[in-house]
Amino acid sequence: SAQSRLTDLSADELAAFRAEQQTAYDTLAGSGLKLDLTRGKPSAAQLDLSNGLLDLPKGVHDASGTDTRNYGGLQGISELRQIFAELLWVEPAQLVAGGNSSLTMMKDTLVDLMLFGGVDSPGPWSAQEKVRFICPVPGYDRHHTLLDSLGIEMLAVPMNDDGPDVDAVAALVKDDPTVNGMWIVPTYANPAGAVCSQEVAAALVAMPTAAPDFKILWDNAYALHHLTADEVKSADILSLASAAGHPHRPILFASTSKITFAGAGVAFLAASTEQVAWYLKHLGEGAIGPDKVNQLRHAQFFGDADGVRAHMARHREIIAPKFAEVQRILTDRLGGTGVATWTDPKGGYFVSLDVVPGTAARVVQLAKDAGIALTPAGASFPYGVDPQDTNIRLAPTFPALPEVTAAMEAVATCVLLAAAEKLSS
């Protein structure tokens, strides 16, 4: 890019640059924009890909002859579990197909661990003086909200390009039995798009932990959500954990929220056989069975695992151009200025943008005042506090392409203005 580094400018040049950005911003703010890059939602065009579901199921009986309209079948219907077991590299017997939200399954799991303890716990977590959880940052805001709501204390570790920082995690879990677990979004992580390598996954399931029942909540929400032809395969966490002698350490979650309908998909949980039985036992104390009609129509809609893969390719056709547009504008407007770095994810739903430390909140405020909603600064960090005030999560899937363009041009202007303000202060 032709831009020069802002830090190389003389005081006069910087003042001129700042005035230029202020003018650009004032024009922007006066143009009546109303754009939203906040949440990772599928667009209507993506939802339309799954409209075939609205005419299904054909018939009401599953492959075993069960009437899906009736109660029962807590673990979910087997033909759908077979399809997703193949895609998630687990055994069908170790997979639960549930309701429409994997986040609810995560909440149930944590609540059960708190109230009852797990298959390898000495007692309920809530009987401990303290319960703590490791959160790779930046991470998924709702993971943090959930922990906070249960009084679980959060410990941040860096999320690297190949997964959580193993040394930082190992140091926290080694001697402290109140560190009971950790989150990982292993594939195309929210928000930076990192993919947890086989080596990192293997180290995390093998590391010694003071807590005998340490849990890795392996939230594979974007397992199949590739943006390029290079379709990364998630580490096979259940097999790795068994091989390392800690079969009950990981609990895997996934869903079709960003495959079919975000509000009416099917969620999945996978774990060791004993741990699946533990989950189903507690689930059965408050449920008789999932929405098997929805599960049946999903199984019929996809047919098999390749049907899911082909469907994901159609999502990619819709959203890859939006991600490319984000890269194009960031590179054009901010490349070479030295005031921002950003990720170029190969999948998932987000781009993570780092601006001049101490300006992320200012950028979000400037954008808001100009009519562009961005995820609040700090949202990807425990307690909503980014200690560096540097990170902004961008979610380009929901708006139409021209709106992505307009919103990103505006974001670039806000980043430059905030940087100029900061550097001249």
Binding site for ligand PMP (CB under 6 A): 40, 101-103, 140, 185, 190, 219, 221, 255, 257, 267
Q: 192 and 159 in contact (C-beta within 8 Å)?
A: yes
Least distance CB 40 / ligand PMP (angstroms): 5
Provide CB contacts within 8 A for 400, sequence distance 6+. Answer: 43
Q: 193 and 352 in contact (C-beta within 8 Å)?
A: yes
| CA–CA dist 43, 161 (Å, integer) | 28
DSSP 249: S
CA gyration radius for the chain? 23
351-355 and 391-394: which strand pairing?
Answer: antiparallel
Give the nearer residue to ligand PMP in terms of CB position, either 260 or 390: 260
Give the SS3 label for residue 36: strand
| Of the candidates 139, 132, 201, 140, the residue with the CA atom closest to the CA atom of residue 166 | 201
Least distance CB 257 / ligand PMP (angstroms): 3
Least distance CB 103 / ligand PMP (angstroms): 3
Give the nearer residue to ligand PMP in terms of CB position, either 99 or 289: 99
Least distance CB 194 / ligand PMP (angstroms): 12
Give the nearer residue to ligand PMP in terms of CB position, either 77 or 103: 103
Least distance CB 396 / ligand PMP (angstroms): 14
Does the N-terminal peptide bond of residue 177 adopt cis geometry, omega within 30 degrees of 0? Answer: no
Give the nearer residue to ligand PMP in terms of CB position, either 267 or 363: 267
Give the nearer residue to ligand PMP in terms of CB position, either 101 or 242: 101
| CA–CA dist 70, 62 (Å, integer) | 11
Give the nearer residue to ligand PMP in terms of CB position, either 62 or 219: 219
| CA–CA dist 71, 196 (Å, integer) | 39
Least distance CB 239 / ligand PMP (angstroms): 22
Least distance CB 221 / ligand PMP (angstroms): 4
Measured in whole angstroms, the distance separating CA 37 from the mean position of its chain's CA atoms is: 15
Give the nearer residue to ligand PMP in terms of CB position, either 46 or 257: 257
